[in-house]
């Protein structure tokens, strides 16, 4: 969320600055992959793989021209693992089904969000709004920040709650994923007030 807030609030910075902005997100994405790689249990291997395979969608913020199709293409590998969870727990454990539906719902809802607000890449301020001049309660240009928050509330909050019910490594991995998403919100907000460099 941080990255999305920043992108919505500022001109697009140079490549070096963009790397600084996305490094915390990238580190969390790497941590999710490491968690899956180190998991030696058998009960939640499909959960760990579902999230690890879905996490690369968070890289959309650095994809120029086609971030929506990029995300759409990545969803299938995550669904491969989540379908195993659905078949294992169907009619047995509704928490597991809710967990899958919430995580998949977030991934799928990300595509229309991106197409509506960032169709050709993370939207940076066009120069009409500057962070210092905007009142704290002012809505973001185009509602990108507001709509990303709604996406989080609708899907990610449920995913987090279901992860807590499951507990253990599933909850730990969910907490890291949620941190990465919140950093993206901050970047979107920043981009709204920062102009894209000439």
pLDDT (tens digit, 9 = 90+) per residue, 61-109? 999 899 999 999 999 999 999 999 999 999 999 999 999 999 999 999 9
The sign of the dihedral angle between the CA atoms of 12, 18, 24, 26 is positive
Q: What is the SS3 assignment for the chain?
A: CHHHHHHHHCECCCHHHHHHHHHHHHHHHHHHHHHHHHCCCCCCHHHHHHHHHHHHHHHHHHCCCCHHHHHHHHHHHHHHHHHHHHHHHCCCCHHHHHHHHHHHHHHHHHHHHHHHHCCCCCCCCCCCCCCCCCCCCCCCHHHHHHHHHHHHHHHHHHHHHHHHHHCHHHHHHHHHHHHHHHHHHHHHHHHHHEECCC
> Tokens 């990029």 identify what position?
70
The structural domain count of the chain equals 1
Tell me the backbone φ, ψ of residue 11, rounded to 5 degrees.
Answer: -65, 150
For residue 7, pLDDT over 80 is answered with: no
Is residue 64 one of the residues assigned to a domain?
Answer: yes
Q: What is the pLDDT of residue 198?
A: 41
pLDDT category of residue 9 using cuts at 50, 70 and 90: low
pLDDT of res. 15: 78
Contacts of 173 (CB under 8 A, 6+ apart): 32, 35, 36, 47, 48, 51, 52, 163
Residue 198 lies in a domain: no
Contact 184, 178 (CB under 8 A): no
Domain of 48: which CATH number? 1.25.40.330
Is a pLDDT exceeding 80 seen at residue 11? no
Give the separation between CA 57 and CA 69, rounded to whole angstroms. Answer: 10
Give a yes or no: residue 6 inside a domain. yes
> Which residue(s) pair with 2 in the sheet?
183
Does residue 10 lie in a domain region? yes
Q: Which two tokens stand for residue 142?
A: 């185009």
Query: Domain limits at 83?
Result: 2-193
pLDDT, greater one: 16 or 159 = 159
Asked if residue 125 belongs to a domain, the reply is: yes
Is 183 within the bounds of a domain? Answer: yes
Note whether residue 139 is domain-resident.
Answer: yes
In a domain, 83, yes or no: yes
Dihedral angle, C-alpha 166, 58, 75, 102, nearest 10 °: 30
């Amino acid at each position: 969320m941080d990255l999305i807030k920043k992108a919505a609030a500022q001109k697009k910075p140079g490549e070096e600055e963009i790397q600084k902005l996305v490094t915390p997100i990238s580190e969390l994405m790497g941590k999710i992959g490491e968690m899956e790689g180190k998991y030696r249990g058998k009960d939640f291997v499909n959960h760990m793989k579902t999230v690890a395979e879905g996490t690369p969608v968070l890289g959309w913020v650095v994809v120029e021209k086609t971030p929506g199709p990029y995300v759409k293409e990545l969803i299938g590998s995550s669904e491969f693992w989540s379908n195993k969870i659905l078949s294992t727990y169907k009619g047995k454990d509704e928490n597991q089904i809710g967990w899958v539906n919430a995580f998949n719902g977030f991934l799928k809802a990300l595509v229309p969000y991106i197409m509506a607000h960032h169709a050709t890449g993370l939207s940076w301020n066009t120069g009409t709004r500057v962070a210092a001049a905007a009142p704290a309660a002012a809505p973001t240009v185009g509602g990108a920040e507001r709509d990303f928050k709604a996406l989080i509330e609708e899907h990610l909050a449920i995913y987090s709650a279901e992860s807590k019910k499951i507990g253990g490594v599933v909850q730990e991995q969910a907490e890291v994923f949620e941190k990465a998403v919140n950093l993206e919100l901050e970047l979107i907000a920043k981009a709204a007030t920062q102009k894209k460099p000439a």
